[in-house]
Structure 1
Amino acid sequence: MIIEKWPKSSEKNLSDYKDTIPHIFHHNAVIVLANGVDAKIGSLSGNYEHFHEWKRPEEDEPGVVDMETLLKGICNKSNFLDLFENFIVFDDSSGELVKIIARNHQYLGVNRAMQAVEERRHRKGKLGVFWHTQGAGKSYSMVFFSRKVHRRLGGNFTFLILTDRDDLDTQIYKTFAGCGIVDNDKDPCRAESGDDLEKLLKQRKAYIFTLIQKFNREVAPDNPYSSRDDIIVISDEAHRTQYGLLALNMWNALPNAGYIGFTGTPLFKDDEITDALPLIL
């Protein structure tokens, strides 16, 4: 969709198209707004502010915000099919069904995390840190990541989504539930206590949600909750949850799990926060 005046007319043009020729969107995957120089990608249900640039085709390339970069990043065959298959979800957690398309950093970050999962034995379970700025869609990144692992790698992976606050736990659970991935009422997946967490981990659940505080019992290294190597711990706010006694209990409980951290706190090679993530980095 070519927009001559940028950006004020873009939302009006899109709205007009929806009203006058809605059938062109019946089989729509993504929408690209462009003016020949700049471009943004978004979904049918998104307002203009929910459209985003595609800044780089690969993580190690310099960022350039223009239409050419977006086209190179999403319009070659393999990338587009990957985006279509693994990076579009529908979420009704807000009470209204919306279509969510991954942003550039989510697409690149999830695919790098996928590679880490494939190499998890060589990496000894240290899957790295997925860094986000505030409002960058961290919960959706978790959804994209876990769904792609299940879809592409198969097996019986269990994702343990770990936070340190009730409100964060509820927020992330609601995102997964809104995307139709979990339903705690039909298939319990939210640990109610330390004992309940141990029981859930001894089952082959696809998803478990818990607070780090529920690893509240000392665990002997020779008596773990599970020795499986297809458990992946997604640690939200990893700079707060991956050190101390509770973290030690978790590591002893899940000695062969893979650990990936999600955080909005910048990490540097030699600072105290980074040193506190020994099982992730």
Structure 2
Amino acid sequence: AVQAIVDCIQQNRGNGYIWHTTGSGKTLTSFKASTLLKDNQDIEKCLFVVDRKDLDRQTRQEFNRFQPGCVEENTNTETLIQRLLSDDYTDKVIVTTIQKLGLALDANHKKQYKQRLKPLRDKRLVFIFDECHRSQFGENHRAIREFFPNAQLFGFTGTPIFPENATYRTIEGEAARMVTTADIFG
């Protein structure tokens, strides 16, 4: 999985998802992929995005257990913005929540985070989503794709969404269809 992600990024050939069962090493796999990407000069930032606060803490602890001091806590959206805009090598890999990322891309937020992120708009960023079956079927995903057109997105999931278990529907013209993990990530 690590090699597939790294190859996909080196060849700049789209997105994808990794189907791992529970307890099979998703965090270690994503950590290794992130640290290899840290040395890729073509990548501006690598964000590992989780869907809730307890996973944020747990992921940071695991990453730092694998390599002490490799990621810092983003206590709020302002801290996330500062790390995204930082040129410091230590801020190249960022662990954050989808909620903070959503606030960062909210055009109506009073702190104008989105406006401040414009220098990153056309850069190559990599997003790795944990539990992507829960967090990537709505407005946040659309906002990420629209704001970062050169980003590559990878999802990790133990339960991918297939046509038979899909609940999210999209309307295209006159037809509605169910959306799967493959539709989102390729």
TM-score for the superposition, normalised by structure 1: 0.50
Q: Contact 2:56–2:97 at 8 Å: present in 1 too?
A: yes
- Structure 1 residue identity aligned to 2:47: L
Partners of 2:163 and 2:180 within 8 A in 1: no
Letter in 1 for 2:106: E
| Distance in 1 between residues matched to 2:132 and 2:116, nearest whole Å | 22
1:164-243 to structure 2, matched below 5 A, reads 164-180=51-67, 182-183=69-70, 189-204=72-87, 205-214=91-100, 215-216=102-103, 218-219=106-107, 223=115, 225=117, 226-243=120-137
**Aligned-pair distance for 1:254?**
2.8
Paired letter, 2:124: D
- Which structure 2 residue ranges, 5 or more long, are not aligned? 109-113, 168-177
Residue number in structure 1 paired with 2:33: 145
Counterpart of 2:185?
280
Aligned length: 163
- Alignment match of 2:16 (pick from 118, 128, 134): 128
The question of whether the paired residues in 2 share the 8 Å contact of 1:223 and 1:253 is answered with no
Secondary structure of the corresponding residue to residue 171 of structure 1? helix
The percentage of counterpart residues that share the same residue type is: 25
Can you list the C-alpha shifts for 1:50-84, whole angstroms capped at 9, x where unaligned? xxxxxxxxxxxxxxxxxxxxxxxxxxxxxxxxxxx
**Which one of 34, 46, 57 corresponds to residue 159 of structure 1?**
46
Q: What's the CA shift for 1:224? A: 7.5
Per the alignment, residue 115 of structure 1 pairs with 7
**Which of these two proteins has the greater Rg computed from alpha carbons?**
1
Q: State the secondary structure of the residue aligned to 1:232.
A: strand
Q: Deviations over 1:122-149 (max 9, x none)?
A: 42xxx20011101101110012212233
1:178-200 deviation line (CA, Å, top 9, x unaligned):
1225355xxxx332222332222
* Cα displacement (A) at 1:228: 4.2
In the alignment, structure 1 segments of 5+ residues that lack a partner are 1-108
**1:80-131 CA distances to partner (integer Å, 9 max, x unpaired)?**
xxxxxxxxxxxxxxxxxxxxxxxxxxxxx111112211232x42xxx20011
Residues 251, 266 of structure 1: alpha-carbon distance in 2 compared, 3 angstrom cutoff: closer
TM-align CA RMSD: 2.8
Structure-2 residue corresponding to 1:265: 159
Pick closer, same or farther for the CA change 1:191–1:136 going to 2, 3 Å: same
Between 1 and 2, higher relative CO (CA 8 Å, sep ≥ 6) is seen in 2
Paired amino acid for 1:190: E
- Counterpart Cα distance in 2 of 1:276 and 1:218: 25
Q: What CA distance in whole angstroms lies between the structure 2 residues aligned with 1:208 and 1:111?
A: 20
Name the CA distance, whole Å, in 1 between partners of 2:145 and 2:79.
17
Deviation, 1:219, is: 3.2
Cα offset, 1:251, TM superposition: 3.1
Q: Structure 1 residues 192 and 253, CA, compared in 2 at 3 Å: closer, same or farther? A: farther
TM normalised by structure 2 equals: 0.73
Q: What secondary structure does 2:185 align onto? A: coil
Label 1:137 to 1:269 Cα distance change in 2 as closer, same or farther (>3 A): same
Among candidates 143, 146, 171, match of residue 249 of structure 1: 143
Higher helix proportion, which one?
2
